[in-house]
């Protein structure tokens, strides 16, 4: 009840004409960014962070959240019409969206994607409001020992889940991020590490220039490298652009389940929207009656993927707000933006700014309403957006990549950081190193470093409390289990063992 009251108060506070104006332009821009293949939500949020320095706190965060929600949703447009996901989050959407577009049902596919995204985000918001306050309260019991394992857990899980079938590259990306975080003044004795004689490195590597490089410049290079995409002949332009309520009702369980899966995936540190979409899609395919239709133009598959990826957004904000550990790459940028605007995410948030979580929920609700309205009524406009030539867009994007990070500190050094991370990010991505663990490493490096050394100081160099305190022990078990299960030979042995067991059982039943 208190939560509902706080939500109503936040709504009343934020429903101003100025805020609605910000919601409209930022969501439109977000859908635009997400629609264009190559421009990701992370890049959009990172670039927009550099444009929101002068806005007041709530307006700035609203703009960034609308960009985030809009971009994740916008990715479905190019996935459906071009068979190229606008953002990695929409890769699963393309599987059924594009066949539907080819069959002349592009309009209806986009309508279903819109409804799925909106409902998915709403499910996520509900869980955010329900889970964030108790999680923040629980996190108050975390000490240095637990925070150390939380940071390790974030890197390991993120590496494991984003590294695909070769989690080793995910772990390496995470380690690289942690190494980057070791540069500059450390948090306990203010000793400067690895500055290589460059005074500008004393303060460390800024997250925003690094992210703008790794996600902005690297995307520009990827887009210019690849062949131009062609928009599918949208026979769907004459198609129905409003979803049938009957269809939504038919898929109610799929929608609900995908919303919950997406939110839960969002809560896992550094995993992100693409995994949310794939996990929801896989769950829907396993249980669907129209399983054979999946991958050939299934409405259910499309709805599951879109609901799943959108639900990750509020989910990713749960650990970001309560633990300062991002659930996804765009959430990592949001954490940096929160610090810039004077909000200190972490366990203390429910004590220092208890209403802020509800303000975030209201911002997400505004963004959801916007994507629903724009998505359903501006379908044809967004088809036009996909036709913007990359030769026009990319130099503008790169110019913003240059001036945005510079504007943060007004130092040319930030441009160098952006360029280096852009080139490295491009190469690493082509070599199948996921970017999310790298970003998470940069964010969690300081937490891991300080917590380990502080914990060791408290225990006078004794490692035992790192393994014997209850929460720490749980983390240790999960981390070890996920590392062991990540080893291909172990995975194969387990699946062989399970197969044998199932065969034995089947034989036993047949004999019986």
Partner 1 sequence: MTFDSATADRWTSIALFAMGVAMLIGGYTMDRLEIRQIHPASIPGLVPMILGAAMMLCAGLLFLSARAAHSAVAADRGEHPKHSSAESSPNLFFAASYSVVYALALVGSMPFALATAIYIAVFYIHFTWDKTAPIHQRLMRVGYGIGFAVIGAYAIASLFQYGFLVRLP
140 vs 292, beta carbon nearer partner 1: 292
φ, ψ dihedrals at 95, nearest 5°: -55, -40
Q: How far is the CB of 45 from partner 1 (least distance, A)?
A: 17
Q: How far is the CB of 392 from partner 1 (least distance, A)?
A: 7
Q: Is 185 helix (H, G, I), strand (E, B) or coil?
A: strand
Among 255, 394, 435, 442, binds partner 1 (CB under 8 A): 394
Q: How far is the CB of 443 from partner 1 (least distance, A)?
A: 15
The residue whose two tokens read 């690094």 is 210
Q: Is 418 exposed, middle or buried (0-12, 13-18, 19+ CB in 10 A)?
A: buried
CA distance 388 to 228: 11
- The answer to whether residue 96 forms part of the interface with partner 1 (CB under 8 A) is no
Among 153, 217, 281, 294, binds partner 1 (CB under 8 A): 217
Note whether 415 and 61 are within 8 A (CB).
no
60 vs 241, beta carbon nearer partner 1: 60
Note whether 54 and 340 are within 8 A (CB).
no
Beta-carbon contacts of 426 under 8 Å, excluding residues fewer than 6 positions away, are 217, 218, 221, 222
Beta-carbon contacts of 473 under 8 Å, excluding residues fewer than 6 positions away, are 467
- The answer to whether residue 281 forms part of the interface with partner 1 (CB under 8 A) is no
Among 235, 369, 407, 476, binds partner 1 (CB under 8 A): 407
Note whether 202 and 72 are within 8 A (CB).
no
Window 298 to 357, contacts with partner 1 (CB under 8 A)? none
Among 18, 474, 481, 488, binds partner 1 (CB under 8 A): 488
Window 448 to 477, contacts with partner 1 (CB under 8 A)? 448-449, 452-454, 456-457, 460-461
163 vs 326, beta carbon nearer partner 1: 163
Q: How far is the CB of 334 from partner 1 (least distance, A)?
A: 20
- The answer to whether residue 81 forms part of the interface with partner 1 (CB under 8 A) is no
- The answer to whether residue 225 forms part of the interface with partner 1 (CB under 8 A) is yes
51 vs 364, beta carbon nearer partner 1: 51
140 vs 403, beta carbon nearer partner 1: 403
Q: How many CA atoms are closer than 13 Å to the CA of 131, on its beta-carbon side?
A: 20
Among 142, 171, 358, 382, binds partner 1 (CB under 8 A): 171
Per residue, the 3-state secondary structure of 230-272, as one string, reads CCCCCHHHHCCCCCCHHHHHHCHHHHHHHHHHHHHHHHCCCCC
**Alpha helix (H) ranges present in 341-434?**
349-352, 356-377, 379-385, 390-409, 413-430
Q: How far is the CB of 454 from partner 1 (least distance, A)?
A: 7
Among 17, 410, 464, 509, binds partner 1 (CB under 8 A): 410
Q: How far is the CB of 364 from partner 1 (least distance, A)?
A: 26
Element (H, E) at 184: strand 184-185
Q: How far is the CB of 417 from partner 1 (least distance, A)?
A: 11
Note whether 405 and 50 are within 8 A (CB).
yes
CA distance 391 to 387: 11
- The answer to whether residue 387 forms part of the interface with partner 1 (CB under 8 A) is no
Supply angle C-alpha 116, 83, 373, rounded to 5.
Answer: 35
CA distance 253 to 289: 12
- The answer to whether residue 286 forms part of the interface with partner 1 (CB under 8 A) is no
- Which residues on adjacent β-strands are paired with residue 185? 192
Q: Is 183 helix (H, G, I), strand (E, B) or coil?
A: coil
Q: How far is the CB of 35 from partner 1 (least distance, A)?
A: 17
291 vs 390, beta carbon nearer partner 1: 390
Among 191, 286, 289, 387, binds partner 1 (CB under 8 A): 191
Q: How far is the CB of 123 from partner 1 (least distance, A)?
A: 27
Q: How many of the chain's residues bind partner 1 (CB under 8 A)?
A: 67
- The answer to whether residue 440 forms part of the interface with partner 1 (CB under 8 A) is no
Beta-carbon contacts of 300 under 8 Å, excluding residues fewer than 6 positions away, are 251, 254, 284, 288, 290, 293, 294
- The answer to whether residue 48 forms part of the interface with partner 1 (CB under 8 A) is no
Among 5, 16, 193, 384, binds partner 1 (CB under 8 A): 193
CA distance 342 to 356: 12
- The answer to whether residue 403 forms part of the interface with partner 1 (CB under 8 A) is yes
Query: Of 159-167, 238-246, 269-277, 501-509, which part binds partner 1 (CB under 8 A)?
Result: 159-167
Q: Is 484 exposed, middle or buried (0-12, 13-18, 19+ CB in 10 A)?
A: exposed
Among 156, 221, 279, 321, binds partner 1 (CB under 8 A): 221
CA distance 87 to 241: 22
Note whether 300 and 254 are within 8 A (CB).
yes
**Hey, what are 84's tokens?**
């190229």
118 vs 220, beta carbon nearer partner 1: 220
Q: How far is the CB of 88 from partner 1 (least distance, A)?
A: 12
Among 5, 198, 224, 481, binds partner 1 (CB under 8 A): 224
Window 287 to 306, contacts with partner 1 (CB under 8 A)? none
Site residues (CB under 8 A) for partner 1?
51, 53-54, 83-84, 94, 164-166, 168-169, 171-172, 175-176, 178-179, 182, 186, 188-189, 191, 193-194, 217, 220-221, 224-227, 389-392, 394-396, 398-400, 402-403, 406-407, 410, 412, 415-416, 418-419, 423, 426-427, 430-432, 448-449, 452-454, 456-457, 460-461, 488
């Amino acid at each position: 009840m208190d939560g509902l009251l706080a939500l109503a108060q936040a709504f009343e506070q934020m429903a101003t004409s100025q805020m609605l104006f910000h919601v409209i332009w930022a969501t439109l821009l977000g859908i635009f960014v997400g629609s264009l293949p190559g421009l990701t939500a992370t890049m959009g949020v990172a670039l927009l962070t550099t444009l929101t320095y002068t806005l007041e706190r709530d307006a700035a965060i609203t703009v960034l959240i609308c960009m985030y929600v809009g971009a994740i949703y916008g990715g479905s447009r190019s996935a459906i019409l071009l068979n190229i996901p606008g953002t990695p989050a929409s890769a699963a959407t393309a599987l059924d969206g594009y066949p539907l577009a080819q069959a002349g049902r592009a309009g209806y596919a986009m309508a279903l994607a819109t409804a799925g995204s909106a409902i998915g985000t709403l499910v996520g918001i509900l869980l955010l409001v329900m889970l964030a306050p108790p999680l923040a309260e629980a996190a108050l019991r975390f000490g240095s020992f637990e925070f150390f394992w939380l940071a390790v857990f974030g890197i390991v899980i993120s590496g494991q889940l984003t590294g695909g079938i070769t989690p080793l590259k995910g772990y390496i990306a995470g380690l690289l991020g942690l190494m980057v975080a070791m540069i500059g003044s450390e948090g306990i004795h203010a000793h400067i590490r690895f500055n290589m004689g460059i005074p500008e490195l004393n303060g460390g590597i800024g997250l925003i220039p690094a992210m703008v490089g790794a996600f902005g410049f690297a995307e520009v290079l990827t887009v210019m490298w690849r062949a131009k995409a062609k928009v599918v002949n949208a026979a769907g332009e004459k198609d129905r652009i409003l979803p049938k309520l009957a269809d939504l009702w038919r898929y109610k369980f799929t929608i609900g389940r995908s919303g919950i899966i997406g939110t839960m995936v969002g809560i896992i540190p550094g995993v992100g929207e693409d995994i949310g979409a794939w996990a929801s899609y896989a769950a829907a395919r396993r249980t669907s009656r129209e399983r054979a239709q999946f991958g050939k133009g299934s409405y259910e598959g499309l709805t599951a993927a879109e609901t799943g990826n959108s639900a990750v957004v509020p989910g990713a904000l749960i650990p970001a707000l309560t633990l300062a550990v991002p659930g996804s790459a765009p959430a990592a940028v949001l954490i940096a933006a929160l610090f810039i605007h004077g909000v200190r995410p972490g366990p203390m948030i429910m004590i220092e700014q208890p209403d802020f979580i509800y303000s975030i929920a209201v911002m997400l609700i505004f963004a959801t309403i916007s994507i629903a309205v724009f998505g359903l009524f501006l379908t044809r406009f967004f088809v036009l957006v996909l036709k913007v030539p990359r030769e026009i867009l990319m130099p503008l994007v790169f110019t913003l990549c240059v001036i945005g990070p510079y504007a943060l500190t007004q130092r040319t050094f930030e441009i160098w950081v952006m360029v280096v991370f852009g080139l490295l990010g491009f190469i690493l991505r082509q070599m199948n190193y996921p970017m999310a663990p790298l970003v998470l490493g940069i964010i969690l490096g300081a937490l891991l470093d300080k917590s380990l050394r502080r914990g060791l100081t408290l225990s006078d160099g004794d490692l035992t409390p790192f393994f014997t305190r209850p929460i720490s022990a749980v983390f240790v078990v999960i981390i070890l289990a996920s590392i062991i299960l990540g080893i291909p030979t172990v995975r194969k042995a387990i699946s062989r063992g399970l197969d044998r067991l199932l065969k034995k059982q089947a034989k036993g039943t047949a004999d019986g």
